[in-house]
Amino acid sequence: MKNRNKAKMRKQVVRKGYFKAGDCIEVSGKLFGLVVSADSKIVGVKRFAHSGLGLFIERNTTAYSNEAKHYENSYWIRKVQAPKEYQHMSVGVLSVNL
Protein backbone atom coordinates (compact mmCIF):
# COMPACT_ATOMS: atom_id res chain seq x y z
CA MET A 1 0.00 0.00 0.00
CA LYS A 2 2.78 2.43 0.88
CA ASN A 3 4.60 1.74 -2.38
CA ARG A 4 1.48 2.66 -4.36
CA ASN A 5 1.21 5.99 -2.57
CA LYS A 6 4.86 6.75 -3.29
CA ALA A 7 4.35 5.94 -6.97
CA LYS A 8 1.32 8.24 -7.12
CA MET A 9 3.27 11.05 -5.48
CA ARG A 10 6.06 10.68 -8.05
CA LYS A 11 3.56 10.96 -10.90
CA GLN A 12 2.04 14.16 -9.54
CA VAL A 13 3.90 17.09 -10.98
CA VAL A 14 3.32 20.53 -9.56
CA ARG A 15 3.06 22.87 -12.52
CA LYS A 16 3.69 26.55 -12.14
CA GLY A 17 2.76 29.12 -14.70
CA TYR A 18 5.42 31.11 -16.49
CA PHE A 19 4.09 34.51 -15.40
CA LYS A 20 2.88 35.57 -11.97
CA ALA A 21 0.76 38.51 -10.84
CA GLY A 22 2.78 41.71 -10.87
CA ASP A 23 5.06 40.71 -13.76
CA CYS A 24 5.41 43.00 -16.73
CA ILE A 25 5.58 41.46 -20.20
CA GLU A 26 7.80 42.75 -22.98
CA VAL A 27 7.23 41.64 -26.59
CA SER A 28 9.85 42.45 -29.22
CA GLY A 29 11.41 45.14 -27.03
CA LYS A 30 8.15 46.99 -26.25
CA LEU A 31 6.23 46.86 -23.00
CA PHE A 32 3.11 44.81 -23.69
CA GLY A 33 1.16 44.56 -20.46
CA LEU A 34 0.92 44.02 -16.74
CA VAL A 35 -0.06 40.62 -15.31
CA VAL A 36 -3.00 41.13 -12.95
CA SER A 37 -3.89 37.48 -12.28
CA ALA A 38 -2.20 34.17 -12.96
CA ASP A 39 -2.48 30.48 -12.22
CA SER A 40 -0.79 27.44 -13.76
CA LYS A 41 -2.88 27.54 -16.96
CA ILE A 42 -4.20 31.06 -17.60
CA VAL A 43 -2.74 34.52 -17.15
CA GLY A 44 -4.80 37.73 -17.14
CA VAL A 45 -3.02 40.70 -18.72
CA LYS A 46 -3.97 44.37 -18.84
CA ARG A 47 -2.27 45.69 -21.96
CA PHE A 48 -0.38 48.96 -22.13
CA ALA A 49 -1.46 51.63 -24.60
CA HIS A 50 1.47 53.71 -25.82
CA SER A 51 0.81 57.42 -26.27
CA GLY A 52 2.71 60.68 -26.46
CA LEU A 53 2.11 61.18 -22.74
CA GLY A 54 3.47 57.78 -21.71
CA LEU A 55 1.89 54.43 -20.98
CA PHE A 56 -1.74 53.88 -20.10
CA ILE A 57 -3.25 50.64 -18.83
CA GLU A 58 -6.25 49.53 -20.86
CA ARG A 59 -9.50 48.73 -19.06
CA ASN A 60 -9.99 45.21 -20.42
CA THR A 61 -8.19 42.15 -19.14
CA THR A 62 -7.12 39.64 -21.79
CA ALA A 63 -6.56 35.95 -20.99
CA TYR A 64 -3.56 34.08 -22.40
CA SER A 65 -2.06 30.66 -21.81
CA ASN A 66 0.35 30.61 -18.86
CA GLU A 67 1.99 27.28 -19.65
CA ALA A 68 5.76 27.64 -19.61
CA LYS A 69 6.22 25.55 -22.79
CA HIS A 70 4.78 28.44 -24.83
CA TYR A 71 7.31 31.01 -23.58
CA GLU A 72 10.55 29.27 -22.58
CA ASN A 73 12.03 29.22 -26.10
CA SER A 74 10.49 32.50 -27.26
CA TYR A 75 13.29 35.04 -27.03
CA TRP A 76 10.95 37.87 -28.12
CA ILE A 77 8.64 37.42 -25.11
CA ARG A 78 10.11 38.00 -21.67
CA LYS A 79 9.36 39.08 -18.12
CA VAL A 80 10.68 42.48 -17.13
CA GLN A 81 10.36 44.68 -14.09
CA ALA A 82 7.27 46.88 -14.21
CA PRO A 83 7.79 50.64 -14.56
CA LYS A 84 7.89 52.30 -11.14
CA GLU A 85 4.54 54.02 -11.57
CA TYR A 86 2.88 50.59 -11.99
CA GLN A 87 4.67 48.68 -9.23
CA HIS A 88 2.56 50.00 -6.36
CA MET A 89 -0.87 51.10 -7.39
CA SER A 90 -3.57 52.09 -4.96
CA VAL A 91 -7.11 53.12 -5.67
CA GLY A 92 -8.61 56.04 -3.82
CA VAL A 93 -11.68 58.19 -4.03
CA LEU A 94 -11.30 61.24 -6.20
CA SER A 95 -13.18 64.15 -4.70
CA VAL A 96 -14.64 66.55 -7.20
CA ASN A 97 -16.21 69.87 -6.27
CA LEU A 98 -19.15 70.62 -8.53
Mean pLDDT over 3-18 rounds to 59
pLDDT at 43 (0 to 100) = 92
Among left, alpha and beta (phi > 0; psi -120 to 50; other), residue 57 is: beta
Please indicate, yes or no, if residue 88 is contained in any of the structural domains.
no
- Which pLDDT belongs to residue 12? 47
Give the pLDDT band (50/70/90) at residue 4. low
Name the pTM for this structure: 0.65
Of 5 and 74, more confident: 74
Task: Note whether residue 4 is domain-resident.
Answer: no
Residue 97 located in a structural domain: no
> Domain total for the chain?
1
